[in-house]
Copies of this chain bind each other. A is one copy, B any other.
């Protein structure tokens, strides 16, 4: 698509390599995150939930679900676990009795006030392989990359992970 006569497939090589470095960078940073939140007996997904609530206040379960990218079953499971530990509570939604809010309890709020700054420092450290300017540039590139990839796969925003039921060879 670029220069078909330069090399047989320079574009494919570039894509493959970009995917490899993207995966490895993500895995390396994710491991820092995992180790950091594990100190408080949280999984990254659990931390994602309370982090969202910490910054945005009470949110409908579906809103949290979309924010941290888990399945509908997953968000129920995560909120259950956090509720059992007294960090989060469900609150009925007055306008729609199917829905409910998740909100931090006082204990959850206190926990986040304590651990979030440490977590931010952990991330700063994990990402310190790039200086400020390169981080800004990386943000710009990754945002474009992610947006495009996400739009390609969901031209019309399905929430959970639905596909057309295709009556193929069943």
Contacts and interface: CB of A to CB of B under 8 A. Distances in A.
A22 to B, nearest CB: 6
B148 A128 contact: yes
A139 to B, nearest CB: 5
Interface in A113-155: 120-121, 123-130, 132, 134-139, 141-150, 152-153
A28 B141 contact: no
Contacts of A29: 19, 22, 145-146, 149
Interface stretch (A7-15, A72-80, A84-92, A104-112): A7-15
Interface residues of A, number: 55
Contacts of A129: 144-149
Contact of A22 (B26, B121, B153): B26
A26 B1 CA distance: 24
A94 B117 CA distance: 53
Contacts of A1: 124
A23 B26 contact: yes
Interface of A: 1-2, 9, 11-12, 14-19, 21-33, 35, 69, 120-121, 123-130, 132, 134-139, 141-150, 152-153
Ranked nearest first, the 5 interchain pairs of A and B with the lowest CB-CB distance are A129-B148, A25-B146, A28-B149, A26-B26, A21-B142
